[in-house]
Amino acid sequence: MMHSAINPFYSARIEPRRETPAPGRYAKLPLAPVNGSPVPHLTSLYHFDAAGEYGDRGYPGNCGGNLIRDLLRFFRPTTVLDPMTGSGTCRDVCRELGIQCWSSDLHQDVDACSPSAFPRGTFDFCWLHPPYWRQKLYTDDSRDLSRTPTLEAFLERYRQLIANCAESLAAGGRLAILMGDYCDRGAGFVPLVYHTKRLAFDAGLRQCCTDIIRFGHGASSSRKVYRSAFIPGLHDVCTVFEKQPG
């Protein structure tokens, strides 16, 4: 059963925003250098507000498919692992591009943190979009990363998850992880992007291109009103790692 709730530790939400939100403001982006990329609009600033017709935008934590599509068009894998598929966004993109995709989720009783969940040394590319610890809760299953009771417990499960995905890659394969920092009411500011890199490096991976800062268009939090003062985080970060070529 799909289950979702706003984390009670996270927000000091008092009411939904009543007035019409101000229209989007425009930021001037730097010019990107012309280069041989097959996807020239894919730069370190992923600012497009269209999500694409992939997955289910109503699924909690849905990420929109256009960034996944652009990464797949850039790296051109022939096999993809999508171990936390949620509403199937990556699966739908792969179907459109004609790429073979292994897609699963805890909702189908596949625990991505288990070392036996996937074949080893197989995939050219892995798209990983895990829970941002307990910012959103996904299932009632105790194996759910969003249900880990402490940051330490989350990071230990996350370490297993990343190691597992690294093991599943063929030599030279890429692992793209979309992760965001957030402010947890119990633990304070949680730098999950930092932890992602640390754990990936510990698993023997190296970062193979720039961080991709994904603008958070359509985030549910942007429509809320908070009593507390804070600096809103309006992005998450996609980091692409590479397994050493054989």
Q: Which stretch binds ligand SAM (CB under 6 A): 20-28, 40-48, 143-151, 194-202?
A: 143-151
Nearer to ligand SAM, 28 or 237 (CB): 237
Build a one-symbol-per-residue string for 114-133: x at contacts with ligand SAM by CB under 6 A, - elsewhere: ---------------xxx--
> Rule CB under 6 A: is residue 52 a binding residue for ligand SAM?
no
Whether 122 contacts 100, CB under 8 Å: no
Angle at 167 between CA 181 and CA 159, to 5 degrees: 35
Integer Cα distance of 156 and 198 in angstroms? 12
> Rule CB under 6 A: is residue 144 a binding residue for ligand SAM?
yes
Build a one-symbol-per-residue string for 76-115: x at contacts with ligand SAM by CB under 6 A, - elsewhere: --------x-xx-x---------------xxx--xxxx--
Whether 111 contacts 118, CB under 8 Å: no
User: How far are the Cα atoms of 22, 134, 151, 156, 163 from residue 159, in angstroms, in the given order?
Assistant: 40, 16, 12, 5, 6
Stretch 201-220 residues interacting with ligand SAM (CB under 6 A): none
**How many of the chain's residues bind ligand SAM (CB under 6 A)?**
25
- Is 7 in a helix, a strand, or coil? coil
Beta bridge pairs of residue 123:
169
Residues found near ligand SAM in the complex (CB under 6 A): 55, 59, 61-63, 84, 86-87, 89, 105-107, 110-113, 129-131, 138-139, 143-146
